[in-house]
Amino acid sequence: MKKSISYIILLLFFTIGSSFTLIDKLVINEYPSPEGISNLLFYVQRTINSNTIVYTLNTNKDGELNENEPIKAYWIKYTQNGKIDPLTYIQRNYAYGVKSKLIDKDKKSFQFEFVSYNKRKFFLMKSGSDNQYHAFGYVNNKMTILNNIMVRIEGGTFWVPNVKSVEVIAKDPSTSKIITEIIKP
């Protein structure tokens, strides 16, 4: 059951995509962008409400990276005046949590994936241009820096939402151009 639920939830994120529509773009512009968040890597939003899952670099009080859990995810509940909440057990283990593994000890670089979909890999590593950590991933077959993901949901149930499309928005690290991929499951 865990595997099928997990597959459904993040299949929405990472299936080969198709065309971008004006409706998708209008929906995305209606949602708040998290601001003033220390160590923000990227965020995920869904069209069912403006609440946002934020992924940040997980550091200790001295600013050193937690190598056992380098990415921290939590909610900003804009529908509740910006209240901050942790992911629930189900959200962390079946949908929005990430699993990471160290791939370069000297550079402290990691590979990570969403717990619900392990077919698309992402990377947490320092950029050569600013020496800061970023979440990297392939968007439209180009290595990019992730910015945000918008999941367009129309109906369905808690366990099986009716996902119409997923938009992945990222930045080309060499040109700073925004790159968007629309995925239609």
Prediction pTM value = 0.82
Which residue's entry shows tokens 């990415």?
71
CA 178 to chain centre: 16
Per-residue pLDDT of the chain (185 residues; tens, 9 = 90+): 444 444 444 433 333 333 333 344 444 567 899 999 999 999 999 998 999 999 999 999 998 999 999 999 999 999 999 999 999 999 999 889 999 999 999 999 999 998 877 777 999 999 988 999 999 999 999 999 999 999 898 988 877 778 888 899 999 999 999 999 998 87
Two tokens at 99? 């699993």
CA distance 31 to 168: 15
Domain count within the chain = 1
The parent domain of residue 110 ranges over 2-183
The C-alpha angle with vertex 26 and arms to 35 and 30, in degrees rounded to 5, equals 35
